[in-house]
Chains A and B, each alone.
Chain A
Amino acid sequence: GAVVSQHPSRVICKSGTSVKIECRSLDFQATTMFWYRQFPKQSLMLMATSNEGSKATYEQGVEKDKFLINHASLTLSTLTVTSAHPEDSSFYICSARVASGTDTQYFGPGTRLTVL
């Protein structure tokens, strides 16, 4: 149980384009999903917390207008990187919390974004 999927697994795009990444909880309902970014040889950095039906909460230093998050249902959250630039190239990973009252997060397989 507690399977989280992400799509696409890898994307290469030109500078200035927008990229949408989907995160789905496959066998449970996730009221809260999280988006992380990981640069090479670094740890995961939380970008934002996404609650179903409400606006995402962004971490300090993360531009909410650049990284658009939508959590339209209990099983789907999306991250859109708008007007991507080479410095946005990174490994983007989502996670989902199984249920309220527990802190355990299960991670999706990640999306490798390369902006040319």
Chain B
Amino acid sequence: QKEVEQNSGPLSVPEGAIASLNCTYSDRVSQSFFWYRQYSGKSPELIMSIYSNGDKEDGRFTAQLNKASQYVSLLIRDSQPSDSATYLCAVTWGAQKLVFGQGTRLTINP
């Protein structure tokens, strides 16, 4: 059974602080890893993709991947109230399927 695990939260972070979101996955064969943001009532929006071990930075977002530990994380620096959303970790296995975690609900407090 291919699984992606996330802490459902809610995770509360003060405005301006760093929000840290974590995800573990069960399949060692997984090659591609994604973070999506989903606002209430909306569809997921791609934030980051990462394919190799290490860090990948894009603006205020940094994705970190550790394949040996089967762990991927997302850091949001200088958190803003508009970052309040559910963050979905997704992992591919096989040719093309995405498996989603249950999502972490993040609240940024002004």
Residues of A within 8 A of B (CB): 32, 34, 42-44, 46, 49, 91, 93, 95, 97, 103-110, 112
Q: Pick the contact of A46: B43, B44, B46, B97 (CB < 8 A).
A: B97
Question: B100 contacts which chain A residues (CB < 8 A)?
Answer: 43-44
- B45 to A107, Cβ gap below 8 A? yes
Instruction: State the main secondary structure of chain A at its contact with B.
Output: strand
Query: A49 contacts which of B43, B96, B103 (Cβ < 8 Å)?
Result: B96
Chain B nearest CB from A51 CB (Å) reads 9
Kindly name the residue among A34, A93, A105, A106 whose own CB sees the greatest number of chain B CB atoms within 10 A: A105
Minimum C-beta distance from A39 to chain B (A): 12
Is B96 a contact partner of A32 (Cβ separation < 8 A)?
yes
Instruction: Tell me whether B31 is interfacial, beta carbon within 8 Å.
Output: yes
In the complex, which residues of chain A have a beta carbon less than 8 angstroms from the beta carbon of B41? 112
- Asked if B31 and A42 make an inter-chain contact with CB atoms under 8 angstroms apart, the answer reads no
**What CA separation (Å) do A95 and B99 show in the bound complex?**
13
Assuming the contacts A32-B96, A97-B96, asked whether A104 and B34 have C-beta atoms less than 8 A apart, the reply is: yes
Instruction: List 3 A-B pairs, minimum CB-CB distance, nearest first.
Output: A103-B32, A110-B43, A107-B43
| Docked complex Cα distance between A6 and B100 (Å) | 21
Contact (Cβ within 8 A) B43 A93: yes
CB distance from A85 to the nearest CB of B (A): 23
The smallest beta-carbon distance between B33 and chain A, in angstroms, is: 9
A104 touches B96 (CB 8 A): no
